[in-house]
Structure 1
């Protein structure tokens, strides 16, 4: 049966073909800022996400003012900001990434389903410092090629995994950052036990660990920090929050 991830990747292939047909070219115009350095600081680094909608939850805050949201994240202490740039399934765009870049100086993550170099170029041009590579979405050889390409451009890479097999594929690259997504991209079910199960192997490898998805309370933060997470990626909770600053305070440990 076709999964949501299958549908997303099929759409990405169409988008890549369109970008290639358009003759897209980019120019590097700025230095990058480092998420790695922030993750090495004491405490848990919060990567706050701008996500208008999702396939599993529907609309979260479709009409969000991206610039204002990004400024609130930076003022509240975000160590990085993640911007969903997928349009068909998450209602985002590369313009959202550009808008965030225009008002903040913290590292920016382009959150998308990367399958080709041209998407990485587009993210870089739009203001990304970090990209996401999802092991579940890529053949191992392609994962390695895209990782090398991104790092050669000076971008940092979060290599995202969901289970033990994917983790071994990720570790073969020797990445600086591994993100454990507590959301299964095939079923979209969320369970923090995923981070707890995979954390020891990540930490022992020397990679920095980020726990992604399903984090709403201080207890959730404590739970993933206890097993070695140096960062958390939080989207839905911030997009639904009445006060970004108050939620940051509630999550801070």
Structure 2
């Protein structure tokens, strides 16, 4: 039986065919921040927050469909986000590349294009819209394709958040030379969340010059402290920030020292 990830990738394949046949309209927002994501996270004494703009998701349905991405991004920047993640998938997350372009005009932080990338044209499109970091998901690609897309992103001057979920994928990420490794606490096949995933996998990268981003499941200070204790340098937070009625308080709850 097809998983949610299988269904998403099938839709992406259709999207790629359309992009390859018609190309994409340039949004002309390419921009390089003074400090990249790796350097920003690596140099901080505190756990950093990559704040996500997320209208909806397959597991939670609508979250905040009426959000104005540029305004949300300004709030995130004001409250201390180290980067902004923008969901650009439309069928499952109700995001658009125009969302990312509008965020690029609003903030000077690094921007992560959060999508299911399976082809080089998506990377080119993300850079054109103003992304500085692209997400590559190990579970969505075979090894050869993952290496090719990683190389393409680097050639374009982009950083890569290489997302993994198990020991084998961590070994692959390290062999590729990934500098920013995202450990997704959410199983993309079942969409169940377990913060123990970061605890288990982060230890495998401690001897390497990488930054670990723990993704999914952050709702409280205790969650943040748990991630920080593993050696994670940042957490990626979407739904909790999108639903927050007091962003200042929510960001403060995630402000913990690395290693705590």
Q: Same fold (TM over 0.5)?
A: yes
Give the match for residue 36 of structure 1.
Answer: 38
Give the match for residue 2 of structure 1.
Answer: 2
User: What SS does the corresponding residue of 1:223 show, helix, strand or coil?
Assistant: helix
Aligned-pair CA distance for 1:28: 7.9
Aligned-pair CA distance for 1:31: 2.9
Give the match for residue 22 of structure 2.
Answer: 22
Please, what TM-score do these two structures have when normalized by structure 2?
Answer: 0.94
Residue deviations 1:209-247, cap 9 Å, x none? Answer: 010000111111110110100010000100110122221
Distance 1:15 1:93, change over 3 A: same
Residue deviations 1:4-29, cap 9 Å, x none? Answer: 00000000000011001013375685
More deviation, 242-251/110-119: 242-251
**CA separation in 2, counterparts of 1:61 and 1:28?**
25
Pairing partner for 2:179 from 176, 179, 199:
176
1:1-253 → structure 2 map (5 Å cutoff): 1-24=1-24, 29-32=30-33, 33-40=35-42, 41-253=44-256
**4+ runs deviating over 4 angstroms:** 25-29
Give ranges in structure 2 of 5+ residues lacking alignment: none
Give ranges in structure 1 of 5+ residues lacking alignment: none
Please, what TM-score do these two structures have when normalized by structure 1?
Answer: 0.97
More deviation, 70-79/25-34: 25-34
